[in-house]
Amino acid sequence: MASSGLQLLGFFLSLMGLAATVCATLMVEWKKHISGKTHRIYEGLWMSCSGNERTTCEFHQSLLKLPTEVQVTRALMLLSILLSIVALMVSTLGMKCTHFMDARPESKSTTTMIGGIMFMVAGLLTIIITSWFVGMIVQAFQESHRLESFEFGNAAFVSWAGGLLTMAGGAFLGCRRCRRSGSTQSLHVSANHLLPTSTQSNYV
């Protein structure tokens, strides 16, 4: 029961991390520039917004005209999301609360561990690319005129949170304690099946 609880906790943490990563990828506040009290400019991975009290947004027309940090971040965030989706399906097959692969408990446990590792890789990828993006923005901010340069926005914080949740969930799914408890339970079951036969043989 304890291992099943850890698996469920890891699964829901990873699911929350995936949702946060998707939200961060779609958010427009990756880069922001505020001029004066009202005029604001936001740039995301897919669109940019500008205006005073009301902002108008438009999608990026050309991929080649985008800054390098936007192109790389967009590609790796999508890769992280895709890896998390695959890990979600793999983990579902191996979790103890599902009935997939019940006839092969060792393979079922290994499948859960593989899904957890994939989640951890996806979360680490999200954290690395977000930190690199923020580093590029900070470097450009320090080298250029600060009144005209961009700052990183709230999407970076959401992305960091998504990466941490995904890694934490993957760690719970891939922990050795879950595998050991599962193997211990299988040994107890096999021992219980063997005890009656040995007792009967002694009486005979």
CATH code, domain with 121:
1.20.140.150
Residue 129 covered by a domain = yes
Residue 38 covered by a domain = no
Residue 122 covered by a domain = yes
Q: Which two tokens stand for residue 105?
A: 């408990």
Residue 22 covered by a domain = yes
* Residue 78, pLDDT score: 95
Residue 43 covered by a domain = no
Torsion, Cα 123 125 93 165, to 10 degrees, reads: 10
Name the phi and psi angles at 101, rounded to 5.
55, 35
Domain span at 132: 2-29+67-193
- Tell me if residue 183 falls in helix, strand or coil: helix
Residue 48 covered by a domain = no
- pLDDT value at 177 more than 80: no
Distance (Å, whole) CA 126 – CA 75: 11
Rounded mean pLDDT of the chain? 78
Distance (Å, whole) CA 109 – CA 182: 8
- pLDDT value at 199 more than 50: no
Task: Note the pLDDT tens digit of each residue in 46-90.
Answer: 988 887 777 788 888 777 778 888 889 999 999 999 999 999 998
By the 8 A CB rule, do 156 and 136 touch?
no
Residue 161 covered by a domain = yes
- pLDDT value at 186 more than 50: no
Share of the chain above pLDDT 70, in %: 73
Write the burial class of residue 96 (CB in 10 Å: 0-12 exposed, 13-18 middle, 19+ buried): buried
Q: Which two tokens stand for residue 24?
A: 């961060």
- Mean predicted confidence (pLDDT) in 177-196: 45
Q: Count of domains in the chain? A: 1
Answering whether pTM is above 0.75, one says yes
Residue 62 covered by a domain = no
